[in-house]
Structure 1
Amino acid sequence: MRDPRLTELADLLLTHSLTIEENEKVLFTGSANTIPLIKELIKKAHALEAIPYVELVDDELTRLLITDAKEEKFELQNKWNMAQYQDIDAFVQIIGEENDAEFGEIPSENFQTAGRIMKPSNDYLIDNKKWVLLNYPTKGFAQKAKMSYDSFYDYLIDVCTVDYKTMAEAQQPLKDLMDKTDKVRIIAKDTDLTFSIKDIPAVRCFGKRNIPDGEVFTAPVKDSVNGTITYNTPCPYRGITFQNVSLTFENGKIVKATADKTEELNKILDTDEGARYIGEFAIGLNPKITEPMGDILFDEKIAGSLHFTPGEAYDEAPNGNQSSVHWDMVLIQRPEYGGGEIYFDDVLIRKDGLFVIDELKKLNPENLA
């Protein structure tokens, strides 16, 4: 049976996230279980007199293609991707994950090789085309969220279709404040971290790149990070989920990293030089996302959270750090997660997950929900 909420989501993606125009070519990629949404996207694209294309993918096949691939395979894939991306105007990637451990057996060096060789086409897409990324409700995602499928389906549609116009307006004062800020201090359980964000732009996120959305991000001055941060949510990366990750910094570099899988954690952080520096600092703001589910597209938007990301910096908030890694790790500061504080230039701006200065109080969940 057709779900009218998928029609609403398709409209949001094409008219808000991508602002598709007549005759623009838009590529939809997703696994077979995402076809109900792809069908609505095709119909909406036709209604907008755009030109839709579809590419179906499969995680099991992708695992086999990567596991024993030669470098030549990735080089050719990069060439094919580049030709494809040059020929489109917009891109929608729909993730229909059924098994979050599907890629866990792929040797990390294979991922590193693929990331390095295919970076040019990936960067070209991100830098030159309109794109948006979202998850589709699957039984695998529902299990990860510890919810029934029906409940998770309703939840996902709900968090994806928040009022992004109101959110965008409420984010502007936070962006303005971050643009003026030099020193940031983060305090939480087993966390005391300082860094500078001076002269690095802050960027509002309100449904233009990710769905669900809700964050404002920037990056630290590369060599300014000092202290320790301990994350209190699962940290998934390429099929492996890490718990109790703690990072200690000296002059921007991670000099100590521990977790329940410390050896595997440090292997990822040794991928390249930039993986031990931070590429993003962001504050999560989606009022309908409150608990971690081990999926970063959701967890990085949790109300009352922040994420502090080893690896590549975004071009919109550049700090000079380059890496094939970009690993969002989330710290929740609400009281039930141990509380915490954020200071901008020695002024307390958020305590226990709630903004405490007047110009930012519109971002608190009761005002965005």
Structure 2
Amino acid sequence: MKDQRIQLLARNVVNYSLNLKKGEKLLIEIEGHENLLAKAIVEEAYHVGGIPFVVFLDQEILAIQLNNCSIEQIQSMAAYDTLRMKDMDAYLLIRAGQNVNELNEVHWEKMDLYWKNYYHEVHAHRWDRTNWCIMRYPNASAAQLANMSTDRFEEFYFNVCTLDYFKLSLEMQKLVDLMKATEKVRIVGPNCDLSLSIKNMPVSMDAGHQNLPDGEVYSIPKKHSINGFITFNSPVIFQGTTFENIKFTFKDGRIVEATANDTEKLIKILNTDEGSRYIGELGIGLNPYISHPMKDILFDEKIWGSIHLAVGTGAAQCDDANLSSIHWDIVHIQRPEYGGGQLWFDDVLVREDGYFVIDELKGLNPDIFISK
């Protein structure tokens, strides 16, 4: 028997997130070997007249390749897959792997080669030329990371992924408009006092198009404007390693001090290139159904009452934006159970302990949004 929730999700992905049209080519990549959601999306793609292509990715095999391959092989892999990506109108990644740490044993220099010479080469064409979306599959591995039973995680997953994102976008637009008129942002709380400028910088929202789950508004900080310090109170997995208690100190935009549970590996990442000690994004999490870290950044960066900073490249390139070969989102939650905190725009208190306190943004508070 088909799970009607999967059919509804597939319909939403094809018609809303990807907006697939008749005759358009869709590349579906699946990390892992789960095919139930992929089958439903292939069927829905054909239903609207699209042309789906499917590729399964295995990170255990990728780890062996990366530890043994040359830069010439990585570049050859990129050349082949770039040709395919250039031929696509839409792209969907379904993360359904069994172990998020499969790449943990890959030497960091090989990971750096892979990100620079494969991932960014191939996906530059996805970012520029396709309607794209990245999503998680609700398997046992995802449930385990979230400290939930599989059944409970499935129920949670479908709630957050089939949220009325159009309704949420109407409330998010009010925050977008306010941030476009804002010059200075200050983030204050325990182990955090950070200031930055978003004056005349791009502001955007993600409301069910490029990620599922979704729900964030983000801007590009001016590269040299960040000063102060922040300790991130949410664990994050990057390049196969789980980092906790990351603390950054900034001077004129640059991370000048950094510590974590694995400081040595953290420093190697921050030394990737000239831009990897600067911030490319300030995001504000707004999904009313996501309240606690799950060690999956697709979920964690949307936690209501949170902010996140992206180490590395900006989500858009413009004057004063940062450029790097990495983009690494790290989350700081400001709700009382995580220590509380305040968000200020131009010396006006906008959010306190995770709740918006100005009238025009109260519709983004989860109790109000869900009750409407």
Task: Kindly state the Cα deviation for residue 64 of structure 1 after the two structures are TM-superposed.
Answer: 1.2
The answer to whether structure 1 residue 22 and structure 2 residue 22 are counterparts is yes
**Quick check: 1:24–1:51 contact (8 Å CA) kept in 2?**
yes
Question: Residues 230-279 of structure 1: CA distance to partner in whole angstroms, max 9, x if unpaired?
Answer: 11010211111111100000000000001111111111101111110000
Q: Where does 1:171-210 land on structure 2 (aligned, <5 Å)? A: 171-210=172-211
Is 1:169 matched with 2:170? yes
Cα deviation for residue 31 of structure 1 reads: 3.9
CA–CA distance in 1 between the matches of 2:319 and 2:33?
A: 36
Alignment of 1:62-77 (within 5 A): 62-77=62-77
Matched, 1:229 2:230: yes
| SS of residue paired to 2:295 | coil
Q: Is the 8 A contact 1:206 1:214 kept in 2?
A: yes
Matching of residues 320-359 of structure 1 within 5 Å = 320-359=321-360
SS in 2 for 1:73: helix
Question: Can you list the C-alpha shifts for 1:73-92, whole angstroms capped at 9, x where unaligned?
Answer: 11111111211011111011
Alpha-carbon spacing, 1:34–1:316, altered in 2? closer, same or farther (3 Å)? farther
Q: 1:286-317: per-residue Cα shift (whole Å, max 9, x none)?
A: 00000001111100000100001110101267
| 1:45, distance to aligned residue in structure 2 (A) | 0.9
Partner Cα distance (2:311, 2:295) in 1: 17
Q: Distance in 2 between matches of 1:110 and 1:137?
A: 30
Equivalences for 1:92-241 in 2 at 5 Å? 92-118=92-118, 119-241=120-242
Q: Aligned-pair distance for 1:326?
A: 0.9
Letter in 1 for 2:229: T
Distance 1:206 1:317 in 2: 23
1:202–1:317 Cα contact (<8 Å) kept: no
Task: Among all aligned residue pairs of Structure 1 and Structure 2, give the percentage whose two residues are the same amino acid.
Answer: 42
Q: Distance in 2 between matches of 1:204 and 1:109?
A: 34
Query: What letter is aligned with 1:222?
Result: K
Give the Cα separation in 1 of the matches to 2:122 and 2:141. Answer: 29
- Structure 2 CA distance, aligned partners of 1:98 and 1:182? 43
**Where does structure 2 lack aligned partners over 5 or more consecutive residues?**
none
SS in 1 for 2:105: coil
Aligned pairs for 1:289-300 within 5 A: 289-300=290-301
Q: Alpha carbons of 1:218 and 1:83: their partners in 2 closer, same or farther (altered >3 Å)?
A: same
Change (3 A) 1:94 1:274: same
- Answering whether residue 277 of structure 2 is matched by residue 301 of structure 1, we say no
Residues 31 and 93, structure 2, Cα contact 8 Å, conserved in 1: no
- Bigger shift: residues 290-299 or 120-129: 120-129
Q: Which moved more, 1:310-319 or 1:188-197?
A: 310-319
Larger CA deviation: 179-188 vs 319-328: 319-328
Contact 1:340 1:353 in 2 (8 A): yes
Give the superposition deviation at 1:125.
1.1
User: Distance in 2 between the 1:16 and 1:34 partners?
Assistant: 23
Equivalent residue letter for 2:227:
N
Q: Is the 8 A contact 2:220 2:314 kept in 1?
A: yes
Amino acid at match of 1:243: E
Q: SS of the residue aligned with 1:339?
A: coil
- Number of residue pairs aligned between Structure 1 and Structure 2: 369
AA paired with 2:67? T
Using a 3 Å threshold, how does the CA distance of structure 1 residues 63 and 41 change in structure 2: closer, same or farther? same
Map Cα deviations across residues 108-158 of structure 1 (whole Å, 9 max, x no partner). Answer: 111111111122321111111111000001111111111111111111111
CA drift of 1:44 comes to: 0.5
Whole-Å Cα distance in 1 between the matches of residues 287 and 7 of structure 2? 22
What is the rounded CA distance, in whole Å, between the counterparts of 1:32 and 1:128 in structure 2? 25
SS at match of 2:66: helix
Deviation of residue 59 (structure 1)? 1.6
Aligned partner of residue 368 in structure 1, secondary structure: helix
Equivalent-residue separation in structure 2 for 1:10 and 1:300 (angstroms): 23
Aligned to 1:360: 361
Q: Which amino acid aligns with 2:210?
A: R
Counterpart of 1:78 in structure 2 is: 78
DSSP-derived class of the 2:22 partner? coil
Which amino acid counterpart does residue 93 of structure 1 have in structure 2?
L
Distance 1:317 1:234 in 2: 30
Match of 2:11 in 1: 11
Mapped contact 1:27–1:90 kept (Cα < 8 A): yes
- TM normalised by structure 1 equals 0.98
When structure 1 is superposed on structure 2, of 354-363 and 318-327 the one drifting more is 318-327
The structural deviation recorded for 1:366 is 1.3
1:222 counterpart SS class: coil
Alpha-carbon RMSD: 1.1
Query: Would the alpha carbon gap of residues 86 and 52 (structure 1) be closer, same or farther in structure 2, given more than 3 Å must change?
Result: same
5+ unaligned residues in a row in structure 1: which ranges?
none
